[in-house]
Chain A
Amino acid sequence: MQQLKPVDVVIAGGGFVGLTLAKEITARTSLSVVVLERGQPRKMSDYATGMDELDYTMRFRMMQNLAEETATHRHSARASAVPIRQYGSFHPGTGVGGAGEHWAGISYRFYPEAFRLATFLREKFGQGLSGDLNVQDWGVTYEALEPYYWRAEQLIGVGGKAGNLQGKKIDGGNVFEGPRSHEYPNPPHKVTYVCSVFEKAARDLGYHPYPVPTATLSRAYTNPDGILRSGCAYCGYCVRYGCMIGAKAQPTNILMPVLAKHKNFSLRTGCSVRRVVHRDGKAEGVTYLDADGVETMQPASIVIVASWTLNNSRLLLLSKVGEPYDPATGKGTLGRNLTHQVSQSTRVFLDKPLNAFMGAGGLGIGISDFDGKEGLDASPGVLRGGNIRLMSTGEGPIASFGMIPPGETQSDWGSDFKKAALRWHDRVASISTEAEHMAYRQNFLDLDPTYTDNHGDPLIRMTLDWTEHERAQGAMLTKVHAQLAKAMNGRASPSNSRQLERYTVTQYQSTHVNGGVIMGSSPDRSVVNPWLQHWQVPNLWVAGGSAFPQNGSGNPTLTILALTLRAADGIIDRYVKRPGGLA
């Protein structure tokens, strides 16, 4: 084993979380920081030749190579798991920037009560809650996180319209959101034809449409680090692509240029971290395989695990840090509260061409009249809702070909199919929903007993299925989809109505997989404290969506960034000055 000289901080994972922490630490201290990234370097100029639907949308060129490593899945602890052999219900990234390069840019805040969800639900429903619910408070309040949300929004340059400015409700924004201290750093996106049709339909029905908040810049913008990026050109090569002009906030365009200026920062690519080395409640560093395959030990005073959600749990399980969760007894914390998000969509067939190839990952109009705690009264048994939105993300000609109203043709090939597909081409929009996913006793992560990665280490195993509650959420929200589609003068067709019957690995839902290394106010029920510091190993930090005790309804990246910036303050302002537990 190759032994390296100790550094102050080693970070496993060069995505949004790892590089944000590296930026904060190297800019504000003299500590030496090493980031280990298993993938390859990336730069903006790589992306111009990447405007190719086949390689990027159909073949997932930016994603983790599943031939080397994947996850396994089973629906319950009674079943045996099989590998997710091809993409896929979610899309983990690889390479510098991670999934933060190919994301959509959608940047919601979670609702204030979502951070104290267990308390909120107990107050509202008393003892009538299912015993299988593992919902918990986060240990941090919305009010404490709000300054960090604001910092994150400035960092990535979110455009939108506030619906609640310091408690004052503002028409045209999301009036159901928590109070903001500031208006968004940038104005909303331009609105496409189909979004304007949706907006009018929503308003006519008495709902409260708002522009979806997004980090695909609505204009040229300089962030507080002095990084200037140009406004979005709406080319449509956005979700599953890197942005060729840097309008979409990505770690490579907002974090790497800042990091490059700091001599105390170094990035090593092609390096797969395999273990956190620890003894007697202290992390000593990490071992990894370097780009030449040499097993290497990097000692460090502070170890930060910042890989993608599932990989955070896996690295801790492989390293035997903390007690694995046992769903039978409820004991142990590592791997508990695996959540995804409740995704539903409805196709709307319209009579005019939409030019749907124009767009941006975050360009859309949403309503939140059935989100969070709103609008649930007519749907007994539904604990939490979800957003409803119509996005103009940019459709490619392959993926969008062949969407035909049900019953129009018998076959999905041949002359009749071709005729119908051409007739309806570019006349299809999608109303979609992402609803909060509750945590349950039976949904969790552990190591797979059978399947391994290309190094021989066990894969992470997901035990996950939907319950009656998610089906009730889906039914409530798709009813509103149909109502909106009708108000748009469109023909509605649920496109994934069976998806909530059983968790389906083959259908993309979102990359919003969360939990496993959850945060909380008690070491009995969480792995990390509200500063994302490990309860038992105070010089170990585990950051990312893995910290969510359960999932909110919006896209998680902004909340992940806010928690990361708060963790950075904890490390820099408190821990470095006086090492020890912060909570």
Chain B
Amino acid sequence: MKRREFLTMPVGSLGGVLLYTLAGEAVRLPAQTQAGEIRVPLRFFTAAEARVVQAACERIFPHDANGPGATEAGVVIYIDRQLAGPYGSDKYRFTQGPFVDSVPEHGYQGKQSPGEIYREGIKQLANFTELPAEQQDQRLRAMETSMFFRMLRQHTIEGMFSDPMHGGNANLIGWQLVGYPGPLMSYRDEIDKVHGEAWVRKPVSLAQVVGRPVSGWEDEKEPK
């Protein structure tokens, strides 16, 4: 049996509450201030792979003056779970051959699943975590039209802004960043009244809205 792998990170690095300074800078207050580490069990990546993906996602959606980035949202945890689930192994894509190249209008016609594309793509990022940010950007820029990078970019956005049941958007940090209130059941009283002003509320997750635990497709045993 494969040894269980973990991603280890400082307790205060995930999630938190977003505040804005008078100058308009977004500042994150960590949810936990004590020292120590959290160990996230990995479903798909090895610990080394997870660190590479985490570093690459951080360059795609960095922590900066405009607010928190992919690391604080836990994007790598999101991607790990997606790749371990039915999406990562192509349970919902037509994967019968023959596989032939076609025109761009027909989209991806390859045989490789997202999981396989990641495994191969990560190999091209050897030593990535040891490089300074500028060199990391250069490495990513050189591969930015590849299928691997396009997936990584798309999955980073997904991990930032999907419901936390999928592993990312820790403490709804992504929704705080864009002012999304979460899947509220009704805007009947607001929809025709808020004209040209942002309607902002402290965001809530789907589990909070429905009042019970919820899980994503990736957590279901049998695809249906």
Contacts and interface: CB of A to CB of B under 8 A. Distances in A.
Interface residues of A, number: 67
B196 A192 contact: no
Interface stretch (A82-90, A279-287, A341-349, A560-568): A82-90
Given A397-B174, A413-B60, A413-B61, A85 B92 contact: no
Interface in B92-130: 92-96, 98, 100, 102-109
Interface in A60-80: 60-61, 65-67, 70, 73, 75, 80
A233 B106 contact: no
Name, among B62, B137, B180, the residue most crowded by chain A CB atoms within 10 Å (CB to CB). Answer: B180
Given A85-B107, A86-B93, 9 more contacts: A231-B188, A233-B185, A233-B187, A234-B187, A358-B199, A418-B64, A422-B67, A450-B98, A502-B105
Interface string B127-166: 0000000000100100010000000010011101111011
Contacts of A65: 92, 223
Name, among A54, A61, A235, A245, the residue most crowded by chain B CB atoms within 10 Å (CB to CB). Answer: A54
A583 interface: no
Interface in A159-195: 190-193
Interface residues of B, number: 69
Interface string B190-219: 111011111100000010011000101100
Contacts of A84: 94, 106-107
Contacts of B3: none
A235 B64 contact: no
Nearest to B67: A422
A235 B186 contact: yes
Contacts of A320: none
Given A191-B192, A234-B188, A51 B95 contact: no
A398 B192 contact: no
23 contacts: A52-B165, A52-B206, A53-B162, A59-B217, A65-B92, A67-B92, A82-B106, A83-B94, A85-B93, A233-B186, A234-B191, A236-B187, A245-B185, A355-B190, A355-B194, A357-B181, A396-B161, A401-B160, A413-B61, A415-B62, A422-B177, A452-B96, A505-B107
Given A85-B109, A196-B195, A49 B178 contact: no
B32 interface: no
A340 to B, nearest CB: 13
A414 B62 contact: yes
Contacts of B29: none
Contacts of A497: none
B171 to A, nearest CB: 15
Interface of B: 59-62, 64, 66-67, 69, 87, 90-96, 98, 100, 102-109, 137, 140, 144, 153, 156-158, 160-163, 165-166, 174-175, 177-181, 183-188, 190-192, 194-199, 206, 209-210, 214, 216-217, 223-224
Contacts of B206: 49, 51-52
A40 B103 CA distance: 35
B137 A414 contact: yes
Contacts of A422: 66-67, 177-178
B114 to A, nearest CB: 11
B152 to A, nearest CB: 9
Nearest to B163: A52
Interface of A: 40, 48-49, 51-55, 58-61, 65-67, 70, 73, 75, 80, 82-86, 190-193, 196, 231-237, 244-245, 352-353, 355, 357-359, 396-398, 401-402, 411-415, 418-419, 422, 425-426, 450-452, 502-506
